[in-house]
Structure 1
């Protein structure tokens, strides 16, 4: 039983410096931020830090008046905090798997619930899907990140990326959709049939339809973060 000693446990789980830059995966469920300045992070995602780091909740006008107005309309839940200082910061979100994206003058849309952290060099904006206000209470929102810098997103379990081409569109369940390329903007479509109303349908009443050229990231899990206007969970 020598292999179960406290020393072995500490050795196997100890934090390791990999020299990968600002964002490093300490493991696939925890993000290490080598902080020397400031990053945006999901509110409440801090699990530990070392050094001189201070936290401040996102201000009302931190991302501009347009973003403030969109937040007021959507009631969205992607509340952010500013982490600033010098040290090592460890972030996680309910044990979800973390992926790091290094944008090079690119853009990507991320579900508002799945954005863990990003550099301030990336432009941030809230986007509402068209037709949402008439179908869903509170709406379905996503975050557009654009520019050059690093971002970290989260998924339940391992994500799968599906390629979208002009002759091969992709439809997804909104609750399982995590991110998609900035070249795409999905339409929300409905599939309400008589059987659905009787409770005999597949349950996939709403879908996101992606057309054009790009990619969409899905996860093998349905997050429930909005409600149908009648008050029923999807």
Structure 2
């Protein structure tokens, strides 16, 4: 049996992965955190609620999603924070004057140099600007260029490309299974029948599973297993993914060892 690695404030990585499922942020100032995603910290760190604290100027500059205000806090001080989301894959990403829209449940933390906005698409948030954010996924993330059609359950987000359109395979729906659903109401719409269609330049982020992320009231902790932000453990590997193409934003993934 191998000897476990025991970390302290000096041996924890600086803004890098502790392992595939945990990320260490070196805090020297402020970060926005989704509630419940910090599992431990070292140092002198205070936590302020969004909308009712002494950081009104910071929040008015960097946080523009009132529907999600109850889900977030600001960490302020100096130290190291360990972020995780129930054994889902966790990684950091850099935006360089970019525009990224991501599922709200997947986003764990971001630097105040980025501006968070409410997407017009329910269940998604948009990050604008230059800075680092930390996100979870159910399995390693796959990066793809448009034009592409994506299973909605596998979609994590998209960077620097137009919002997707819905695409339905009506020939499939009119077939035998479509008739069964029409008469019985049984069965859902799978990724083979319904996709998000992306066109134009940019990058699409996919998680390597089709596990559905169910809608839930904003501010409520989900309990669905198998989805980031909502339940039981997910799998993952520490597989390395190459740097994303530099189209329209310089989104880059960084992995720990």
Question: Aligned partners of 2:6, 2:36: CA distance in 1, in Å?
Answer: 23
- C-alpha root-mean-square deviation of aligned residues, in Å? 2.8
- Give aligned pairs, total: 198
Superposed, which structure 2 residues align to 1:28-177 within 5 Å? 28-59=20-51, 62=59, 67-68=65-66, 71=67, 79-129=71-121, 140-164=122-146, 169-177=147-155
Structure 2 counterpart of 1:203: 190
Q: Distance in 2 between matches of 1:207 and 1:58?
A: 35
Change (3 A) 1:30 1:84: same
Cα shift at 1:36: 1.1
- Higher deviation after alignment, 199-208 or 145-154: 199-208
Matches within 5 A, 1:207-226: 207-221=195-209, 222-226=211-215
2:175 pairs with 1:186: no
CA shift digits 1:35-84 (9 cap, x unpaired): 1111011111111011111122322784589632xx2xxxx698211111
Identify, as 1 or 2, the structure richer in strand: 1
Distance 1:41 1:200, change over 3 A: closer
Distance 1:78 1:110 in 2: 18
Equivalent residue for 2:254? none
Larger relative contact order (CA 8 Å, sep ≥ 6): 2
User: 8 Å contact 2:50–2:70 — kept in the other structure?
Assistant: no
Give the alignment's TM-score, normalised by structure 2: 0.68
Summarize deviations over 1:80-111 as a string: whole Å, max 9, x none.
Answer: 11111111111111211112111111121111
| Secondary structure of the corresponding residue to residue 59 of structure 1 | coil
Unpaired segments ≥5 residues, structure 1: 130-139, 228-232
2:214 match: secondary structure: coil
Q: Which runs of 5+ in 2 are unaligned?
A: 217-223, 225-257
